[in-house]
């Protein structure tokens, strides 16, 4: 059964708004997923101002997972990686003990264009929180796909429906992109303790109740009711095994409050390096803004 419904709340990133779903006051995490932002859909008119870019900023204790339906974003980070992400691909950045990165619209700067996607954060297990930072990019061909009547899907990360994604994860999870034609039914994965469905677009019914785009349905442990599309719909299923309590401040996640304080001091003092190819500016700690 549906245990909770979380509606996306609008948040401004400066140049555009996102729908923020996680963390939520009454539901901080779903499995290891501790943050979930729905970006767009938004049209960025030319020329896209640099104020729309997300300037260099830090992370610890998590992995950022960027997945696009439309548009392009240029990623640069303090490990020296520069990587363009396009629709259907995955940028998986493991922050570990500390990383910084920027997300810019270099390829859309002159022509403009649409942007639509999701950035999620996956908390790391306690024994992996201080691992060395790293970055991995995966092409669409690395992500297993499946089809049945009225349903097409792609396994973004983890394991589900007998498939396993090439994306390297550090704890058991699933992240599935599903397209439903009107009238089609599909159920979320059942192998993990926690699971949720985010309705990206369209209208659906579940257990006799109607839900619209922008809602996340969090399911009771061990239950996976089918979702039926009232019209063409896009759904993301996320979930996994819980990791225990996590503290979150700004872009920092940790099992320890004192580690959050250390990260704040490190960013303020310049001990977290800036991206080597994007080090002329940075976002200050919110306490200092």
pLDDT of residue 14: 76
pLDDT of residue 222: 84
How far apart, in whole angstroms, are the C-alpha atoms of residue 275 and residue 95? Answer: 13
Residue bearing tokens 């400066």? 14
Backbone φ/ψ region at 279: left (φ over 0), alpha (ψ -120 to 50), beta: alpha
Q: Are strands 194-201 and 185-186 parallel, antiparallel or unpaired?
A: unpaired
Residue 183 near residue 195, CB atoms below 8 Å? no
How far apart, in whole angstroms, are the C-alpha atoms of residue 226 and residue 272? Answer: 45
pLDDT of residue 16: 83
How far apart, in whole angstroms, are the C-alpha atoms of residue 11 and residue 187? Answer: 30
pLDDT of residue 175: 98
pLDDT of residue 289: 66
pLDDT of residue 70: 97
Query: Using CA of residue 241, residue 242, residue 246, residue 250, what is the dihedral sign?
Result: positive
Backbone φ/ψ region at 15: left (φ over 0), alpha (ψ -120 to 50), beta: alpha
Tokens of 2: 């549906």
Residues of the chain with pLDDT under 50: none
Q: H/E/C letters for each residue in 59-128?
A: EECEEEEEEEEECCEEEEECCCCEEEECCCCEEEEECCCCEEEEEECHHHCCCCEEEEEEEEEEECCHHH
How far apart, in whole angstroms, are the C-alpha atoms of residue 76 and residue 196? Answer: 31
């Amino acid at each position: 059964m549906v245990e909770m419904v979380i509606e996306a709340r609008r948040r401004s990133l400066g140049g555009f708004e996102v729908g923020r779903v996680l963390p939520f006051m009454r539901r901080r995490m779903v499995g290891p997923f501790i943050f979930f932002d729905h970006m767009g859909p938004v049209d960025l008119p030319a020329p896209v101002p640099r104020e729309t870019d997300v300037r260099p900023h830090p992370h610890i204790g998590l992995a950022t997972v960027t997945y696009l339906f439309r548009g392009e974003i240029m990623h640069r980070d303090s490990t020296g990686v520069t990587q363009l992400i396009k629709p259907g691909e995955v940028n998986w950045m493991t922050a570990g003990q500390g990383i910084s990165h920027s997300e810019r619209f270099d390829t859309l700067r002159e022509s403009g264009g649409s942007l639509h996607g999701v950035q999620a954060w996956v908390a790391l297990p306690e024994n992996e929180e201080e691992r060395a930072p790293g970055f991995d990019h995966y092409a669409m061909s690395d992500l297993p796909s499946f089809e049945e009547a009225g349903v097409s899907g792609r396994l973004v990360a983890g394991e589900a429906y007998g498939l396993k994604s090439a994306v390297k994860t550090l704890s058991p999870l699933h992240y599935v992109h599903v397209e439903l034609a009107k009238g089609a039914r599909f159920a979320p994965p059942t192998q993990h303790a926690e699971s949720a469905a985010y309705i990206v677009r369209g209208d659906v019914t579940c257990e006799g109740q109607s839900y619209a785009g922008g809602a996340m349905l969090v399911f009771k442990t061990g239950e996976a009711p089918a979702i039926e599309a009232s019209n063409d719909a896009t759904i993301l299923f996320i979930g996994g095994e819980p990791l225990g309590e996590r503290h979150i401040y700004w872009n920092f996640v940790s099992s320890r409050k004192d580690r959050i304080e250390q990260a704040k001091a490190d960013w303020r003092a310049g001990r977290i390096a800036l991206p080597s190819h994007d080090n002329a500016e940075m976002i200050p700690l919110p306490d200092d803004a």
